[in-house]
Amino acid sequence: MLLLLLLFEGLCCPGENTAVPQALQSYRLAAEEPLAFRMLQTSSFANHSWAHSEGSGWLGDLQTHGWDTALGTIRYLKPWSHGNFSQQELKNLQSLLQLYFHGFTRVVQAYAGHFQFEYPFEIQISAGCRMNAPQIFLNVAYQGLDFLSLQGISWEPSPGAGIRAQNVCKELNRYLDFKEILQSLLGHTCPRFLAGLMEGGESELKRKVKPEAWLSRGPSARPGRLLLVCHVSGFYPKSVWVMWMRGEQEQRGTQRGDVLPNADETWWIFHLSHPDLFDCDSYPGHTGCT
Ligand SMILES: *[C@@H]1O[C@H](CO)[C@@H](O)[C@H](O)[C@H]1NC(C)=O
Ligand SMILES: *[C@@H]1O[C@H](CO)[C@@H](O)[C@H](O)[C@H]1NC(C)=O
């Protein structure tokens, strides 16, 4: 492994004792979205009598809240997760969420047959507010695909979601009170809460953590070729640019994984070298070549 590191130092990832891996010297920030507070819900319906929901709250990519399904309580995951809301206001929100989760399950079970939802199925909801316009969002997915969303004052089916989504929207659009409650929660309560969270979470949101990088052998090198995986892990924020270099030249045709979360609220990514980058004639006797 050490030999490998020495061989390819300067190409991708030097050892962990080097301050800034060369491959990361040119990491740049992607265009940043306005910061959002979002509540995520995943509800699984196994049959007409069994359902399970999970809920969580997120400030940007930091999880700030969980939902304890058994107790029906909000879990505050950060010291600043209360924002600037009073205990009473948070208790009211908790009661509202208890009613909501209970009611959601019952309503979906009751209407599943009518709208031809086929068991088992899963519904995901992402709802919240952003600092800048468009301020509020509420998106619903059915079986992992966009299904419908709240657009201004009306529920709209997602493109391609079909007649079923149209029918559900038609039904939802009849309930004006429900829309008003949502608009008040997302349009008034949520931005106030978001502002409080942003103050409390500012230092965590602004932190910068440098990654570690290391190499391993790739999954299936072709005979005579050495495929290497560059791992880059432990960075924050999420935006990162990793590339394989040969000298000053970026290598094209390499394969990059998605940026994925670590458990400690940092991110990691892997990046495969180009299969033609390393041939074993140049590195005889290397373990990756035998
Ligand atoms: C419903 O699904 C649950 C969870 O998979 C299962 O334990 C239960 O036996 C099912 N009930 C019926 C009536 O099919
Ligand atoms: C919390 O902070 C926001 C933004 O500074 C403010 O609008 C709001 O009134 C504060 N208090 C409460 C209880 O929301």
pLDDT value of position 284 = 62
Average of pLDDT values for 198-208? 91
Whether residue 21 is predicted with pLDDT greater than 60 in this model: the reply is: no
- pLDDT for 191 equals 94
pLDDT of residue 245: 85
Q: How many CB atoms within 10 Å of residue 138?
A: 20
**pLDDT(221) > 80:** no
d(CA 281, CA 224): 7
| pLDDT for the residue 216 | 87
163 CB within 6 A, ligand 2: no
pLDDT of residue 283: 66
Mean pLDDT confidence for 90-118 = 95
Of the bound ligands, which one is closest to the alpha carbon of residue 87?
2
At 240-264, the pLDDT tens digits run 888 888 888 888 888 889 999 999 9
Strands 154-157 and 145-151: antiparallel
Q: What is the DSSP string of 117-137?
A: PPSSEEEEEEEEEESSSS-EE
Burial class (CB in 10 A: 0-12, 13-18, 19+), 239: middle
- Per-residue confidence (pLDDT) for residue 226, from 0 to 100: 79
Does the Cβ of 48 fall within 6 Å of ligand 1?
no
pLDDT at 247: 83
- Asked if pLDDT for residue 24 goes beyond 50, the answer is no
Res. 20: pLDDT tops 60 = no
Cβ of residue 69 lying under 6 Å from some atom of ligand 1 = no
Q: Which of 122-131, 151-160, 215-224 has the lowest mean pLDDT?
A: 215-224
Ligand 2 touching residue 195 (CB < 6 A): yes
Assess whether the previous peptide bond of 237 is cis (omega < 30° from 0). yes
Domains in the chain with CATH codes: 2-205 (3.30.500.10), 212-289 (2.60.40.10)
> What is the pLDDT, as a whole number, of residue 34?
84
Q: By percentage, how much of the chain surpasses pLDDT 70?
A: 83
Q: Average per-residue pLDDT in the chain?
A: 85
